[in-house]
């Protein structure tokens, strides 16, 4: 296996961790948590966040480092306009992901059943998932 193949493999593992949560959150986690009693909601989101944030950080770092490495290795074969579009989409995805996991989830774990906060959490989770789809489409375009 080539070095590029190894780098690509770690890139995909990081993406599965990071974007997997981006899709899991609005599709499964939030609806499941909303079915719990108010006292249990903040306990669940607190435990979920504490377990997931280290994986989120590792996945994000892996995606960033391996993405840069792939770009450096493939610089002559890149579709520059698509690569720019991909990075334009990645920046808000990073910002939204950080906002969700480092601000909203932690606030929810303390406040629990605040419906306005849960609605905000759900909306931002869907935005994160939508940005993830855009990044995946652009990635497919780049590698296709």
pLDDT score of 83 more than 80: no
45, 122 contact by CB (below 8 A): no
Taking 3-state DSSP, the helix, strand and coil percentages for the chain, each rounded to the nearest 5, stand at 90, 0, 10
Which H helix or E strand runs over 17?
Answer: helix 3-24
Report, as an integer, the average pLDDT of 100-119.
81
Between CA 144 and CA 105, with CA 61 as vertex, the angle to 5 degrees is 105
Beta-carbon count within 10 A of 87 CB: 13
142, 86 contact by CB (below 8 A): yes
d(CA 2, CA 19): 25
The per-residue pLDDT for range 41-64, each reduced to its tens digit, is 888 888 888 898 888 889 989 988
């Amino acid at each position: 296996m080539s070095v590029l193949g190894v780098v690509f493999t770690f890139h995909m593992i990081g993406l599965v961790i990071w974007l997997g949560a981006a899709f899991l959150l609005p599709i499964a986690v939030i609806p499941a948590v909303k079915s719990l009693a108010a006292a249990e909601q903040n306990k669940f989101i607190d435990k979920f966040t504490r377990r997931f944030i280290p994986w989120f950080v590792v996945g994000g770092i892996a995606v960033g480092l391996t993405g840069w490495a792939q770009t450096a290795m493939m610089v002559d074969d890149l579709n520059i306009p698509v690569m720019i579009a991909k990075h334009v989409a990645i920046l808000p995805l990073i910002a939204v992901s950080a906002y969700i996991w480092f601000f909203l989830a932690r606030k929810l774990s303390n406040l629990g059943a605040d419906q306005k906060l849960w609605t905000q959490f759900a909306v931002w989770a869907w935005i994160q998932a939508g940005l993830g789809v855009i990044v995946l489409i652009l990635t497919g375009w780049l590698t296709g």
